[in-house]
A and B are shown apart, each in its own frame.
Chain A
Amino acid sequence: MLKIENLHAEIDGKEILKGLSLEVNAGEIHAIMGPNGAGKSTLAYVLGGRPGYEVTQGTVTFDGKDLLDMEPHERAAAGMFLGFQYPVEIPGVSNVQFLREALNSQRKQRGEEPMSGGEFLKLAKEKAGLLKLDMEMLKRNVNVGFSGGEKKRNEMVQMGILDPQFAVLDETDSGLDIDALKVVGEGINAIMRKSDKGVMLITHYQRLLDYVQPDFVHILAAGRIVKTGDADLAKQLEAEGYDEVMAA
């Protein structure tokens, strides 16, 4: 479903990703763990097409298409979702307006009919309920005045509404308290754990993986995947730390 081969990427002329290869098949959840500065967020932004993140070598194929050749909004319409580590505030634009615009922009790009206001509200209500986010929050401006945890839950509500094929979730667990972590974990399972979908979970901690069981765990260090294992690798990391596990 997503195939990354020998990916090199730089920001402001500084190489961050140095030959990263990784393949995620449909129905799989992959966790990416790694020390600070390893390139985890860079990987997320490169997949999401953020301006300023330049790919110098390598390929990324998504559902048989060249992902790197697509504009960010085209990637979204093709089914790619990026959950932001720091969700962006947009004053003056309500969540509901933003999401309806996003959903209908995607549908239009795919040649589908737009969703009516009534249908959309029903969908939004259902997904907000799943993530235990008050519907009132969806009427407010995008992320403005939201707490860290509310922003992250809002990311997951967006994911639920947009229903992507593939999600790259960049530290969705950071800033969440224990209860919210459980809600978000269950949300990810409900929305994304399906045989035709894939997930890349970028995280620092094992605790999210207690709720969202990964099929594979990769350690990303210095711009490359240096070790791959199953869910036990994450537990080993938590117990022993990166230095020891990577040296083994």
Chain B
Amino acid sequence: MSELPTIRDESWRYADFDAVEQLGVEALDQWQNVSVADGETHRQCLIVGSDAPELHRIRLNIGKGARAEIFVVVIGNDYTRVEVETDLGEGAHFEFGGVTIGGGDAVREFVTRTTHDRPDATSNQVVRAVHWNEATGNFLGAINVGSEGQRTDAAQDFKALVLEKGATANAKPELEIFADDVKCAHGAAIGQMDEMARYYMASRGIAPDVAQRLLVRAFIADALAALEDEGEAERLLEAALNVLEARK
């Protein structure tokens, strides 16, 4: 890419353009390319974000019958964007679990483009966003099923928890289907903390901050439910919950 995106680019519509400018065009050209050989399994667990804008772009090529899993927790204090472009081979599976969490005025977002152009491939994407102050959490997920992608089974699930007024969440599912025997499911929900659950916990002696931590943990754990390595799942959860703990 030789020039910076604008708000007219669909996949950039909720981006922080001051931060994008700071990142510059070089950042846009940095793709991490991952090829998963036929029948192999690839797993990546990432905790990303810092005090400066960050852009992470991953291009996944998943071979026949292979499986790729990416789990990402975004904890940056500035604009943080993780993009994953996936091309699935025949009978391949793509698993994506993402969490964005934080306050301030930062935009934290996942942008995925998943291409099913071979038969019998499956994909499952679960994203959870927890934000406060003036922060924003986004999930833009495109699923493209080509004419060869028969018996595709693709699912996307996004839920956002807005802890206070002023925080925002945006969901933008985008499905493009050119095969006729296809299952594509997507769901999005944006809500607030369940006050009754919090009160119920308090009535049993659990202090409000502990109750909130338990409820947020339960909420974001959905995104890591498919991660079978319990140690890694715990590491990612802790990274996310530490951000909540530091909340002022």
Q: Which residues of B contact A106 (CB under 8 A)?
A: 205
B221 touches A73 (CB 8 A): no
Chain A contact-residue range equals 20 to 34
In the assembled complex, the Cα of A37 lies from the Cα of B221 at a distance in Å of 41
B201 touches A102 (CB 8 A): yes
Chain B contact residue count (CB 8 A cutoff): 22
Per-residue contact bits, chain A 59-102, to B (CB 8 Å; 1 contact, 0 not): 00000000000011101110001101001111111000111011
A90 touching B208 in the complex, CB below 8 Å, given contacts A51-B195, A101-B214: no
Main secondary structure of the interface of A (DSSP, over half): helix
In the assembled complex, the Cα of A209 lies from the Cα of B215 at a distance in Å of 37
B215 touches A102 (CB 8 A): no
In the assembled complex, the Cα of A84 lies from the Cα of B217 at a distance in Å of 24
Among B196, B207, B210, B219, max chain A CB count under 10 A is at B207
In the assembled complex, the Cα of A76 lies from the Cα of B199 at a distance in Å of 12
B204 touches A90 (CB 8 A): no
Task: Tell me which of A49, A76, A92, A101 contacts B210 (CB under 8 A).
Answer: A101
B203 touches A82 (CB 8 A): yes
Main secondary structure of the interface of B (DSSP, over half): helix
Q: Is B178 an interface residue (CB 8 A)?
A: no
Per-residue contact bits, chain B 156-197, to A (CB 8 Å; 1 contact, 0 not): 000000000000000000000000000000000000001111
Q: Is A124 an interface residue (CB 8 A)?
A: no
Closest approach, in angstroms, between the C-beta of B245 and any C-beta of chain A?
16
Task: Tell me which of A76, A89, A97 contacts B203 (CB under 8 A).
Answer: A76
Residue numbers of A with Cβ under 8 A of B are: 48-51, 71-73, 75-77, 81-82, 84, 87-93, 97-99, 101-103, 105-106, 109, 158, 162
Nearest 9 A/B pairs, CB to CB: A92-B218, A76-B205, A102-B204, A106-B205, A72-B202, A88-B200, A73-B202, A105-B205, A102-B205
List 4 additional contacts besides A73-B202, A81-B203; criterion CB under 8 Å: A71-B208, A72-B199, A89-B197, A105-B205
